[in-house]
């Protein structure tokens, strides 16, 4: 696959799954052995757990919209920088709905083989999200 074809697959995934909520697309674009790593522990999410994760985020944040800020590709890997926007209308990470608007950034690297995502590493600005939800004081705020 060319880097442009790999980027097109990732764009399709982002639009369908994150913006439209069509998590069934994950079965089409992710390999059966798909692994989504979220930290250095080595633990990962398979396709079903990734579907559950995304569905949970979409349930907690209404009007969720993902903006693709940057996309680059080299060889089998596609790197993206995205911003998620939404309104906190449901429980998320133990935090009850606040009604607050959020905008959080994430950076992900996806490795594709034969037109399928096989590995996926990502980090999201969870600290910034918790500040926006009022769980953690923002800089300059009294605690």
Per-residue pLDDT tens digits for 47-80: 999 999 999 999 999 999 999 999 999 999 999 9
DSSP tag of 92: B
> CA 83, 66, 82, 117: dihedral to nearest 10 degrees?
150
CATH number of the domain that residue 31 is part of = 3.10.450.50
What is the pLDDT at residue 143?
56
What is the pLDDT at residue 79?
98
The answer to the question of residue 59 being in a domain is: yes
The answer to the question of residue 139 being in a domain is: no
Q: In terms of residue numbers, what domain contains 69?
A: 3-132
What is the pLDDT at residue 135?
94
The answer to the question of residue 12 being in a domain is: yes
Q: Which helix (H) or strand (E) holds 58?
A: helix 47-60
Nearest residue to 98 (alpha-carbon basis) of 60, 125, 126: 60
The answer to the question of residue 137 being in a domain is: no
The answer to the question of residue 36 being in a domain is: yes
The answer to the question of residue 51 being in a domain is: yes
How big is the chain by its Cα radius of gyration, in Å?
Answer: 16
What is the pLDDT at residue 139?
79
The answer to the question of residue 91 being in a domain is: yes
Which residue ranges of the chain lie beneath pLDDT 70?
141-143
| Number of domains making up the chain | 1
Inter-residue contact 104 to 132 (CB < 8 Å): yes
The answer to the question of residue 143 being in a domain is: no
What is the pLDDT at residue 42?
80
């Amino acid at each position: 696959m060319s880097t442009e074809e790999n980027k097109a697959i990732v764009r399709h995934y982002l639009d369908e799954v994150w913006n439209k909520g069509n998590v069934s697309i994950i079965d089409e674009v992710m390999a059966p052995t798909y692994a989504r790593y979220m930290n250095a522990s080595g633990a990962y999410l398979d396709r079903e757990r990734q579907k559950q994760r995304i569905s949970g985020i979409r349930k907690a944040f209404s009007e969720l919209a993902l903006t693709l800020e940057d996309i680059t590709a080299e060889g089998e890997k596609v790197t993206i920088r995205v911003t998620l926007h939404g309104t906190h209308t449901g429980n998320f990470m133990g935090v009850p709905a606040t009604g607050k608007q959020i905008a959080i950034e994430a950076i992900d690297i996806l490795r594709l083989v034969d037109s399928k995502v096989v590995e996926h590493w990502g980090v999201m600005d969870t600290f910034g999200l918790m500040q926006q939800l009022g769980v953690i004081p923002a800089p300059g705020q009294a605690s």
